[in-house]
Chain A
C-alpha cells in the first residue's frame, strides 16, 4: 500500500487513491472516474466491445459529444456535414451511444461543445478525479485539480469495458510561475513561454503541477488554457491544485455535488493540494512579470518568441539536428532567419479551440475588437467552445461586437484547430490562431500557423499582421474571467 504518512504531491494523492491493484512487475490497475468520448477516436473501440460481446461497464461514468467532424456554419444553413465519411462517423457515435446507454450531448443539444469545454462547464470534471478521453488535450481538466490525460483507442476500449487502465506511475514536474502578469499578457503566453523554454519533449514521462503566485491569481478558464497545452510540452497531464477559485467555479454546476454533498466534497478537495515538503522529480520556475505576449514562428509549439522578438537565426540552434529542424520549419513557414515576427501578414485569424474558446477568451477578444474593424483582406473566424458559451456570448452581445468588426460568428466545435470539418486554411495562407498546434498542415494542407493568445489574435486581426496587443488594452490587467 502507498505510504500516506510522508508528504505527497497532488498527483501522488490522486494516484494512490485510485490504485485498484498493483502486481509486481506490472503496471497499476488505475480506476477511472470519468470517461469522455468523441466521434473520432471511439468507433474502433466500440467495434472491439461488440466483437468481445462486452457491455460498457459504467455508462453513467461515461459521456459523449460531437466536436471534431461537425460543421460550425450557422444553423439556418442546415449544418451540412463535410462529407459522407464524417456523417457516417457522427452517425456511428450516435448509434454506439444508443446501443451502449451512454449519454450524448449531440448535434441538437444545447449542451454540446468541445469535449474539453463541456466537461468543466457541466461540472463533470471535479477535483481529485481521474479523467480520460481519447484525445491528447484531456490535460485541460487538470485545471480543476484532476489527474486527466489523453489515451489511445485501445485504451478507450479498455476503459469502456472495465473502467480501469493499466498505467505506470508518472514522474512529477513542478512548474512554478512566480510574479504577476503585465496587462495584455495572459495564460496562453505563460504556457507558450514554458514550452519555448523546455521544448516539445521536455515533459515526456512527467505530469506537470502548475503552482506559484501567477497561477493562483488566474481564473479557472485561464488555468484550463495552461493545463490544455501540457501535452505540447510532452507531459500527458498538467494540474493546478484546487482552491477557492476552483470551488467558486464548480459550485452550482449541473453535475457538481449539491447541498450537504457539496460541503462534504469541498472538505475532501481541501486535502488534495501538495503537502509542505513534498518533492517533485523536476522543478522549473518562470517569472510571470518578465513575460511578454508570445507568438510561435515555427512548426511545433516550442518554436515561440515574444511578439517583440525575432525569428531565430540558424546559428542560434544548439546542435545540428535542431539547426536542420529550424531550417525545415522556416522553409515551411517561408520566414527568414532573424526577421521580426510582428508585422508579418496574416490571412486568417482563428479564435477558438479547446485552448481558448471559453467565455473569458471571447470577452478578452471583444475588448480589443469593440468599435474596430478587421483589416481588409483578413478573415476572422470566432468559434465558441460550446453551445452554452455561444449562448452566453450572445446574451452579452459579444457576437454583435464580432459581427460589427467583420468577423464570422459560428456554432461551436473544434473547427479550424484540426481542420476536419471544412473550416481550413488554403495552401500558403498564414493564420494567427488561439489553438494549440502549429504543426505542418494542421489547419489545412499547406497552411501556416502562428499560435498566440486571444488578445494577440484580436489585435492581429485589426492590424492584418502579427501585432502586439498591449497598445490596445488599457493598463489594468484583463479581468474577463467566465465563471
Chain B
C-alpha cells in the first residue's frame, strides 16, 4: 500500500544526459540486497563517486543546493536497460519523486508508477525550454500536481514577480485562480499539462494497491483458468 500522492513543490535537479540506463541509476552490486530501503547510497554511484570513494564535486547530485530536491529533469529516454525496480527505489530513497524527460523505457515507467515515482513525459520542445529555464533560473520552484495532471513553474527568489503570476498555485495545488485550464495550458510557458495512464493515476491518487484490485476480481481469473488448462507443470 502506498500513501495517496498529493501535489508537491520542489526545485529541480538538471541531468542533461541521454539514454540514462538503470545500471547508471543503481549499479548491479547494489542488487544483492533483499530489501527495498537504503538504496539512496547507491544512486548514480559511479557518477557520484571517484574510484577512491570521494564524491565527484562536479556531479549534480553532489552540489549542496541540490540536496532535498524532489524533481529530476533528465535527458531523453530515461531508464533504459535492466528491469531492476531498485532504480525507482533508489531515486525515491534519495528523495526524487518525479522525473521529467521526453520519454521513459517501458519497464522503468511501469516500475516507477507502482512506487509513486512520477514519470512525466514532455515534448522535445518543452524539454529544451525547461533546460533553458533552469540555466537562467536554477532555483525555480516547480509544482507537480498529479490530480490536475499539471506542472507549474513558479517564481524563484530574485525573479520578477510579474512574470510568475501562477506561483500561488504551488502552495497545495488548491489555488487555481488565474491558472489556465489543462487544455489551454500549453499556451502558457509557466504551466503545462502532462499525460499519464488514467488507471495508474487513479491508483496513485487513491493510494490503492493493484494486488488488492486484482484479488477483488478473482472469480474472473478462476473462470478463465477453468476454460484454459495450464500449458506446463513445472513440478513434473
Contacts and interface: CB of A to CB of B under 8 A. Distances in A.
Nearest to A437: B81
A103 B232 CA distance: 13
Interface residues of A, number: 80
Interface stretch (B5-13, B103-111, B146-154, B166-174): B103-111
Given A255-B234, A441-B46, A446-B51, A204 B211 contact: no
B211 A25 contact: no
Interface stretch (A319-327, A337-345, A474-482): A319-327
B31 A68 contact: yes
Contact-residue bracket for chain B: 35 or more
Contact of B46 (A25, A61, A151, A445): A445
Most B C-beta atoms less than 10 A away, residue of A60, A152, A201, A445: A152
A293 B219 CA distance: 53
A44 B34 contact: yes
B64 interface: no
Q: Interface residues of B: mostly helix, strand, loop or mixed?
A: loop
B162 interface: no
Interface string A59-97: 111110000110000000000000101101100100000
Interface string B188-211: 000000000111000000000011
Contacts of B24: 439-441
A204 B199 contact: no
A302 B105 CA distance: 14
Given A21-B220, A155-B114, A201-B19, A234 B199 contact: no
Given A164-B214, A440-B24, A44 B17 contact: no
Interface stretch (A129-137, A212-220, A280-288, A398-406): A129-137
Given A20-B224, A41-B84, A162-B221, A126 B231 contact: yes
B81 A420 contact: no
B199 A166 contact: yes
A62 B234 contact: yes
Given A31-B221, A161-B215, A441-B23, A151 B235 contact: no
B214 A162 contact: yes
A418 interface: yes
Interface string B51-89: 100000000000000000000000111001111110000
A419 interface: yes
Nearest to A151: B83
B31 to A, nearest CB: 5
A43 interface: yes
Contact of A59 (B19, B111, B235): B235
A41 B18 CA distance: 26
A439 B51 contact: no
B199 A439 contact: no
A442 interface: yes
A300 B33 CA distance: 26
A6 interface: no
A150 B84 CA distance: 10
Contacts of B18: 321-322, 324-325
B149 to A, nearest CB: 15
A358 interface: no
Most B C-beta atoms less than 10 A away, residue of A204, A420, A439: A439
Contact of B211 (A40, A61, A129, A157): A157
B93 interface: no
B34 A154 contact: no
Contact of A255 (B23, B115, B220, B236): B236
A168 interface: yes
Contact of A442 (B23, B230, B234): B23
Contact of B103 (A126, A204, A441): A204
Contacts of A201: 19, 76-77, 80, 103, 105
Nearest to B219: A21
Given A44-B36, A152-B110, A441-B27, A29 B51 contact: no
Most A C-beta atoms less than 10 A away, residue of B27, B106, B111, B235: B106
B180 interface: no
Nearest to A124: B232
A386 interface: no
B19 A200 contact: yes
B228 interface: yes
Nearest to A168: B197
A154 B111 contact: yes
A288 to B, nearest CB: 26
A420 B33 CA distance: 12
Nearest to A35: B234
A200 B18 CA distance: 10
A321 B76 contact: yes
B28 A418 contact: yes
Contact of A25 (B21, B199, B231, B233): B199
A27 B21 CA distance: 26
A105 B79 CA distance: 31
Interface in A84-143: 85-86, 88-89, 92, 102-103, 124, 126, 128-129, 134-136
A87 B141 CA distance: 45
Smallest CB-CB A-B distances: 8 pairs: A43-B34, A201-B77, A152-B111, A152-B85, A150-B83, A136-B83, A63-B234, A85-B32
13 contacts: A29-B214, A33-B230, A44-B34, A47-B34, A61-B234, A89-B32, A152-B111, A166-B213, A234-B106, A255-B232, A321-B16, A324-B18, A446-B51
Given A34-B231, A158-B210, 16 more contacts: A21-B217, A89-B32, A89-B34, A126-B231, A152-B84, A155-B114, A158-B214, A162-B221, A204-B105, A234-B106, A255-B233, A418-B28, A419-B28, A420-B29, A420-B32, A441-B27
Interface of B: 16-19, 21, 23-24, 27-29, 31-36, 46, 51, 75-77, 80-85, 103-107, 110-111, 114-115, 197-199, 210-211, 213-215, 217-218, 220-221, 223-225, 228, 230-236
